Structure 1
Amino acid sequence: MYILDRAASELSDGNTRQFYYSNRSYSYRKQGNNVREIKSMGSNKTERACPSLLKVTISKFDGKVSTSFWKTHCGHELEIGRIRLDDETRTIIAGKCYFLF
């Protein structure tokens, strides 16, 4: 998964650029009065920068969108427990895992 970490920036040629970073990058930032408990699995954040990102450029003149994609993830693996899934998909996967063991 990727997240938009900051607002889009306007380039000198009038185009707009956005960077989407790996949602596992950097550190967990506490918000509010610290009333909520930390999740039992801990934070999804890796405390490091993952180099995987999407660079999106939107043309001001014709609305054309071009992207560059850095696929390499570093500092974390693809863990099924850390992926956001809807309830139906989670139930299907749990059922399949049950029959494997």
Structure 2
Amino acid sequence: MAVAIASGGQVFSLNVKEWMSTDLLGSREQGRKLRQLLVDSVEQQQTIHLDFRGIDVMTSAFADECFGKLWDIKPHHILKQMIRISGLTGNNKTVFRFVLQHRD
């Protein structure tokens, strides 16, 4: 995991494709793995940047398990402050938005 320094302190940058060793994010198991990393980062008050460049497919099962369930258990303002996301394109961006829009 590469580290980039931001003005407010350290921001950990994670290339999701490299970390997951695949360009297909399709399973709930993969979603749980990334969600646990995000929960740990938030609880340690560590900002994290997720780079989704190179991810060809992200399914709703993965997105729901990772981001939907995270959205359900952590304060939204904290998540928006501590998790940065880039590189989502096309259908992957649509799936991500859909999952969060259909949460309470």
TM-score computed with the length of structure 2 as normaliser: 0.24
Give the number of the structure whose alpha-carbon radius of gyration is greater: 1
- After TM superposition, the score normalised by the length of structure 1 is 0.24
